[in-house]
Structure 1
């Protein structure tokens, strides 16, 4: 069994113990006390050093594994696989360039639009009509309200695809899109002289979905998103 390589800082005494144990172990890994590839001490040794039960250590190790820091190998022990936690998807999106987010968004939404044209039902059609009307009316509102109405329409298209994985994936994009688009609308002057920027393209998209034209819906959405990507790369 490998040694602890120094004190873990004394017994833990405040709750939640699992979070504290996880943090203490992560600090040791990040500091290089247990290099990548090395085996961690066993549960009994870690529990003694931390002043907690083995079940708490087990939960802490599970949390570290979820962050990509360690991996359990049956019959061999728990090994360090990285010295930094894996970045979660929302954080990765926030750090990404908007043009890259748009490239992935296009792949997701264009396919969703095609599926929506095939799978939409009466409730979906009604939701799309309401969302299109709300987007048109938001032309008289400020940039934030306009962006909210635009995203709501795109969300309705994705929802009409009736694929929960697509819906969940698009939902991950929404917070980043909203924040960045509100800035972009003002920065690029997208609504200058055209408060309802892109209404015709969105109306074409909704009409294609309503009439069941999968290719038409895909083309309409791809063209609309491509126009924004072009503005981004031109800046």
Structure 2
């Protein structure tokens, strides 16, 4: 508890460049690792239920579309409960501004993050013949999502010929949305080694490349990738059959 209290005070006092990086690290860990764990836990369940789908579909009990909709819909309550519990604990501990609007943005981006991780895990199971290949494919893609999320290497520091990977990376969109929605309007001065003091917003724009003009785009991209993964899950589960007799 003393350590948690220390972290709370430390993160609330945003006076240095490192304080912003600490918050970035919390946001990065929250979005990526929780999403990855949720995806990994879900994949064995989807793999087992796919066998049931083959049996019931052959018996004419229900169509693939009904199965896909039910499979996606049943995950929503779990995601909402997880995010609300997580946000109610972590949000005040980080020291974010306690307003309804900013808390809403935090919850929204966490829910969207859980949704695309969940749907991506379901899609990889539908695409591959067994759980092992699905897990391996997911891990490979998650490496790219991790490296180009904007935490290990800021967007402005990524070589220009690799920045397309950043913009094609859902994890980067989540980090972008969470950071800018919480700190994008902050005007407190922070100390940056080797540079004049600058506001939090100026630091986000100059070093991390988080700008207001892309904020709405990032939100729309979340919705687009969720719809894409859901559509691909339905297509793969409908047309790819790996059942062995």
Normalising by structure 2, we get a TM-score of 0.28
Higher relative contact order (CA 8 A, sep 6+): 2
Normalised by the size of structure 1, how large is the TM-score?
A: 0.29
